[in-house]
Structure 1
Amino acid sequence: MAIDVYLGLGEGATVAQGDALWQAHAQLEPGLDALFGQAAATVQRRWGRRVPVRVWLSSALARPFLCGPLAGLRRWREVVALAEAAATEGTGLPGPCQVMIEEWPHPQPALAVAVQAQTLDAIESAARRHSLRVQSLRPWWAAALDHALSRGPDARLLAVSDGDGMTVLGGRERFDTANGYVPAPSAEQADKVLARLALTAGLQPADVVRVRLSRTAAPHDGLPFGAMEEQTLP
């Protein structure tokens, strides 16, 4: 069974026996090393087998942007190269970045997620040191949004907040808004951002779903690291 590991800029957690074990760190790489050490210590490994881990990144480490539309391209690697070239401007992350793209970005733009290459290298290096295998790597906000949409499929604007920032995605059938706000805005600032986006899109308060990472609640099925506090705009 894979172990879930959450990684943020200043904190992280592992899930062991259904409970999230949180810890703070001053620097990313030593914190990651401690988290993977904690993950490796929670299981009895078989000789020669690496323990699988699912790594969930905070909103500061995995940032969304819209890629395209890109016309005239024929190969997926061309799309990826252009998306990676645009990642720093689209997200504010210092390059170089690696980018995951949901679909072909034409004739409509596609949702893309950028992660710094040095963050990915640090994850793989730490996994090797602790005899772990990275089974998957995703933004935590993506799992939170999936969970929110399963409960409220008519939502048009979704915001996920964690300790590092707030991720906002909006649209119907496909995303036409994808923004990351780092560092995390205050509650009052977040209300103003969402109210402005909702007003621009002509949305009602009930169309907006807000999700917050909770360090104290038990994980949901399919959503590690805490139950969510959900609310619409006031």
Structure 2
Amino acid sequence: MDLKILSGGAANGLVTALADAFRGAAGMGIAGDFGAVGVMRDRVLGGERLDAVILTRAILEQLAAGGHVDPASVRDVGRVSTATATRDGAPEPDVSSAEALRAALLAADAVYAPDTVRSTAGVHFAHVLDRLGAREAVAPKLREFPNGQTAMAAMAAGDDARPLGCTQITEILNTPGVRPLGDLPAGCGLVTTYSAGVLADAAQREAAETLIAILTAPENAAARRKAGFA
């Protein structure tokens, strides 16, 4: 039986990179869904039977306070920035300042982002559009997807001349065919701490604790950095 987890899309690449180490230590694989943290939280609250979750620290604290996650099991995995990206081979716009980002958004012929209601990066991106006064202009070309990685995969597969994407850096790095342009500029940035925890009623508690230990182990710091965690 595989370990059952739910995770924000930000941790997909890291979990995949360390899956073999987990299999060697626990003797099982990982059956996981990765997506918008709001969707994952709602599935936990809905009573889905799980062993572990990897979500934002704020959501983990809420789930622990509600008795869904064992508070003693919660460990921080790392910090993830929200960044911009484009498709390989497409022009690289300047996004180094708020003014440059606004100009790039207005010049883009398609803008790719995760769910602007239930995903960490998507909610923040909607706020950035408001801050820049660009929401109305961007709306007709905004392409929303359930999570950042599906948004980036769609951008990679598209044929837009000037695509621009925004999601967490981990999802950009984990998607072939796109390249990061840089973190959101000063005044627009977001850095989110992701944490892992064991469900209070986990059927495979020991294996869940093993996964969390592997994800947060000092010897796996290089894997975390490569996946985009700071």
TM above 0.5, one fold? no
TM class by shorter-chain length? under 0.3
Which one has a larger percent strand, Structure 1 or Structure 2?
1
Q: TM-score, normalised to structure 2's length? A: 0.27
Q: TM-score, normalised to structure 1's length? A: 0.27
| RCO higher in structure (CA 8 A, sep ≥6) | 2
Which one has a larger percent helix, Structure 1 or Structure 2?
2
